[in-house]
Every structure is written in structure tokens, then in C-alpha cells.
């Protein structure tokens, strides 16, 4: 079932912005949070707290509870501290470990694990590359050739946690995909949180519902990440966010109530997502 249509009349809640100014090119490629902190306030909010920036475009009388905005609302200082977990140094090795097509081939890593799942083309490799931009040596492997078996790829992030890049599902997915992912999600002992990617341009698609149902059926805690938020117009993005938020509020149990919108192109939302991962894996105190 697709999400569109869940929230009729949502257009009335949106104050259409006159100018949809993009982040200036000089900052968009910046990886250092110290540089981000120098940005003018509005650009900083747009880059670090994209949901908050979107909220500005809701009409004042729109119900505030429509967007569960501030459940995870770390300070800029906490976000800056989180960057160190994702920064490769000789003492903090961030590296690809191995790949597996079956759970019993998965590396035996004791750290807490977070995994990323999503439809093919949702922007998963781009997002993982953006998360690892402070560790440029890390190679995020992409296997897009039709017919090639896709694998689960394991990355070690220092002594802190493991990040798992799961094969994309939907069109071109191998037949045994569901078996592989299902077994992993159901049986991986140290799996702490699943990040389920949804394309902000098209919203929740039929194939996404398969993954959502898996997470719900196995009572897994998961988080919805909205990708490519630089692509749709501000009005369209806000409409998608409100619809997906409504879906999360009314149709899910295990999904974290706050959405994480991101862009691998402008890095919007990437710092906040790093901070969230560092926090839930027990490595960072944010309050
Ligand atoms: P995957 O199949 O889920 O790993 O998707 P990819 O990361 O390979 O991305 C699929 C396509 O979407 C590629 O053409 C990317 O350049 C594009 N893409 C991914 N992330 C973004 C983003 O944040 N913004 C924009 N504009 N395009 C993106």
C-alpha cells in the first residue's frame, strides 16, 4: 500500500515558500563540523536539522503534533562530539570487514550492529558513503549488475559498532533476497537498530511495505530515513514528510516516531544521523 492519500488536505497546512534557496556550494561539500558551525543560522538549521527547517513552512495554526519533531534533539556540541566516532584515525579504524550472502557466513563481531535496508536505487550506497565521508579510505561496494548476487556488507566503526549495508530489494533483487534479509533481521543477536530508507521523491512504495512488515512482524526497533531531500520541491517534500509521519504514527509500532530526512548530495541531515547512531549504540550521551 502506498502512503500517498493518507493525509488528504495536507496542502492547506503548508505555507509555500517563495524562494527555495539551496545551500551555497562552498558549504555543501564541507565535511568538517567546525565549518558547519560557522554557517549563518538558517543555513546551519537547514543542514543540521532539516525537519526543523521544514517545520518553518507549516502554517502557524497547523497542529504541532503532526510532526513529532523534537524527540531526538541533541545540542550542536553533542553533534560535534559524534563526528569523532565517524572520523578515521590510526586509533579509530573504520573499515570494510567482509561480505556475506548467508547469515552463517556473517562475521562474528561483538559490537552493537546497525543495518541499512531499502529498495534498489533509494540512495543507500550514497547515504553510507556520506556517513563515512570522514573516513575516505572506506570503500562502499556497489553491486548493481542484474543477476549478480547481492551481499550484506559489514563495516567496523572503531571499537564502537558495526554498520551493515543490506542488499537492495524490489526490482532486480535476487530471489533469495527475502530469505537472506529476513533471516538476518530475525536472528542477528547484536542487531540494535534497522534504518529503513524511503525515497522522499516517491514516498512509501509497495516494496517498502514488505520491509516495514518484516520489521513490524519481528518486533524490531527501526527508523525511517527519507533520502534525496534535495530533489523534491520544498512543498512536495513537506507533503511527503507529513504523509510518512502520519503513516508512522498510525500504522507502525516499532518505528521510531521521528523521521530522519537526509541528502547525500548536500549532507543535510547527515550530522544528525551520525549523532543518533552514536547515541543509540551507547557511545555518546546527548543529555
Ligand atoms: P542504492 O541503489 O540504494 O545504493 O542507490 P544509490 O546510492 O546508488 O543512488 C541511486 C541514484 O540516486 C544515484 O543516481 C544517486 O546519484 C542518486 N542519489 C542518491 N542519493 C541522492 C541524494 O541525496 N540526492 C540526489 N539528488 N540524488 C541522490
Calpha distance 193→42 (Å, rounded): 31
The answer for residues whose C-beta is within 8 angstroms of residue 6's C-beta and 6 or more apart is 243, 246, 247, 250
Distance (Å) from CA 77 to ligand 1 centroid: 30
pLDDT for position 17: 39
3 state DSSP class of 271? helix
CB 247 within 8 A of CB 204: yes
How do the pLDDT tens digits run along the chain, 287 residues long? 333 333 444 444 444 333 333 444 444 454 688 889 999 998 999 999 998 888 888 777 665 555 555 789 999 999 999 999 999 999 999 999 999 988 889 999 999 999 999 998 999 999 999 999 999 899 887 666 655 567 899 999 999 999 999 988 875 555 667 778 889 999 999 999 999 999 999 999 988 998 999 999 999 999 999 999 999 999 999 999 999 999 999 999 999 999 999 999 999 999 999 999 999 998 888 87
Reported pTM: 0.88
Annotate 128-146 with DSSP letters as a single string. Answer: HHHHTTTSTT--------T
What pLDDT is attached to residue 30? 47
228 Cβ inside 6 Å of ligand 1 = yes
Rounded distance, CA 27 to CA 36, Å? Answer: 7
CA of 199 to the centre of ligand 1 (A): 9
Please give the full DSSP string across 6-22, using - where no structure is assigned. Answer: SSTTGGGGB---S--PP
Q: Is 231 in the pocket of ligand 1 (CB under 6 A)?
A: yes
123, 131, 172, best to mutate for ligand 1 pocket (most atoms within 8 Å of CB): 123
Query: Is the C-beta atom of 52 inside 6 A of ligand 1?
Result: no
Q: What's the gap in Å between 38 CA and the centre of ligand 1?
A: 28
250: helix, strand or coil: helix
Q: Ligand 1 in contact with 172 (CB < 6 A)?
A: no
Give, for ligand 1, the residue of 124, 126, 207 to mutate: max count of ligand atoms closer than 8 Å to Cβ.
126
Please name the residue whose Cα sits nearest to atom 6 of ligand 1.
Answer: 123
For ligand 1, whether the C-beta of 125 sits within 6 Å is yes
The pLDDT of residue 26: 43
Q: Which atom of ligand 1 is nearest to the CA of 126?
A: 7
Q: Residues 6 or more apart from 61 whose CB is under 8 A from it?
A: none
Could you give the domains of the chain? 31-61+71-281 (3.40.50.300)
Amino acid at each position: 500500500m502506498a502512503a500517498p492519500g493518507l493525509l488528504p488536505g495536507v496542502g492547506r497546512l503548508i505555507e509555500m515558500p517563495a524562494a527555495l534557496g539551496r545551500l551555497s556550494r562552498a558549504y555543501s561539500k564541507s565535511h568538517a563540523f567546525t565549518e558547519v558551525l560557522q554557517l549563518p543560522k538558517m543555513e546551519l538549521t537547514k543542514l543540521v536539522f532539516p525537519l526543523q527547517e521544514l517545520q518553518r513552512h507549516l502554517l502557524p495554526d497547523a497542529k504541532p503534533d503532526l510532526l513529532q519533531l523534537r524527540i531526538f534533539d541533541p545540542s550542536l556540541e553533542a553533534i560535534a562530539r559524534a563526528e569523532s566516532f565517524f572520523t578515521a584515525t590510526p586509533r579509530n579504524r573504520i573499515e570494510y570487514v567482509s561480505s556475506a550472502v548467508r547469515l552463517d557466513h556473517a562475521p562474528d563481531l561483538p559490537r552493537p550492529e546497525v543495518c541499512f535496508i531499502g529498495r534498489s536505487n533509494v540512495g543507500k550506497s550514497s547515504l553510507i558513503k556520506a556517513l563515512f565521508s570522514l573516513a575516505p579510505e572506506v570503500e562502499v561496494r556497489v553491486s548493481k549488475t542484474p543477476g549478480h548476487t547481492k551481499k550484506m556488507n559489514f563495516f567496523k566503526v572503531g571499537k564502537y559498532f558495526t554498520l551493515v549495508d543490506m542488499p537492495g530489494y524490489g526490482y532486480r533483487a535476487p530471489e533469495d533476497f527475502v530469505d537472506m534479509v529476513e533471516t538476518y533481521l530475525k536472528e542477528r543477536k547484536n542487531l540494535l537498530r534497522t534504518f529503513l530508507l524511503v525515497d522522499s521523491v516517491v514516498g512509501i512504495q509497495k516494496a517498502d511495505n514488505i520491509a516495514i512488515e518484516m520489521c513490524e512482524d519481528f518486533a524490531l526497533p527501526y527508523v525511517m530515513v527519507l533520502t534525496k531531500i534535495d530533489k523534491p520541491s520544498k512543498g512536495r517534500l513537506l507533503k511527503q514528510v507529513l504523509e510518512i509521519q502520519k503513516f508512522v504514527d498510525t500504522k507502525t509500532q516499532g518505528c521510531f516516531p521521528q523521521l530522519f530526512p537526509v541528502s547525500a548530495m548536500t549532507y543535510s541531515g547527515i550530522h544528525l544521523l551520525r549523532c543518533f547512531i552514536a547515541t543509540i549504540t551507547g557511545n555518546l550521551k546527548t543529555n
